[in-house]
Amino acid sequence: MKRQNEQVLKHLNDHKHITPLEALHNYGCFRLAARIYELRSEGHEIITSHTSEGGKVYAQYSLIKKA
């Protein structure tokens, strides 16, 4: 989990946002919301927005400020 947290945080730094599909495809992370929760508990400011595409709604997480 710690490794996935590091990968997700680096992705957020490099790309400014991440979706569950990106996390699964790039890092094998099935539980992105849990990783985001842990990153927030470390003090990182991450916001959630909801996006729809093709009739499906999914979360998109964006890094506002690192801890």
Q: At 34, which CATH number?
A: 1.10.10.10
Range of the domain at 13: 2-65
Domain tally, the chain? 1
Please state, in angstroms and rounded to a whole number, the distance separating the CA atoms of residues 32 and 54.
Answer: 21
- Please tell me the predicted confidence (pLDDT) of residue 1: 79
Please state, in angstroms and rounded to a whole number, the distance separating the CA atoms of residues 17 and 48.
Answer: 9
Please state, in angstroms and rounded to a whole number, the distance separating the CA atoms of residues 44 and 59.
Answer: 17
* Whole-number percent of the chain with pLDDT over 70: 100
Planar angle of CA 8, 17, 66, nearest 5 degrees: 65
Instruction: Provide the 8-state DSSP code for 30.
Output: S
pTM above threshold 0.85: yes
* Whole-number percent of the chain with pLDDT over 90: 96
Please state, in angstroms and rounded to a whole number, the distance separating the CA atoms of residues 55 and 47.
Answer: 22
